[in-house]
Amino acid sequence: MNFGKILLERNAIGDWQLKENLAVSAMSMLREDVDYHDLTGTKCDFGYLYQIEGYGLEALFRVETDICTTYFAAQGDVLMQVEMPDEQFREATELFLKMHP
């Protein structure tokens, strides 16, 4: 645990390489004919993306395909698919950005 230690964090929303790596990893978790038919035109939208010293990533983003929108979260070194409505995505993004100016 890092109790009492100030962790350095960096807003990495402008880090295109990191965003691309996360998007590719997320898309590899999608299932053909369930989550997409054709990946042409697929969009990835990041709510937030931070790198935190001694912890790793903290990110929330969505991938929009021709079939659906799928939400993903990165925590530490783990990337997971999460179930949430779009309103919760927007609220979580807003809250996180308020807490990490």
Segments making up each domain of the chain, as ranges: 9-99
Written as one letter, the residue type at 89 is F
Q: CB pairs under 8 A, 24+ apart, for 89-94?
A: 89/47, 89/60, 89/62, 90/47, 92/47, 92/60, 93/47, 93/48, 93/60
Name residues whose C-beta falls within 8 Å of residue 73's C-beta, 6 or more positions apart in sequence: 59, 60, 79, 80, 82
Residue 46 CA to residue 41 CA, distance in Å, equals 16
pLDDT digits (tens, 9 = 90+) for 40-51: 999 999 999 999
pLDDT digits (tens, 9 = 90+) for 20-37: 999 999 999 999 999 999
pLDDT for residue 6 is more than 70: no
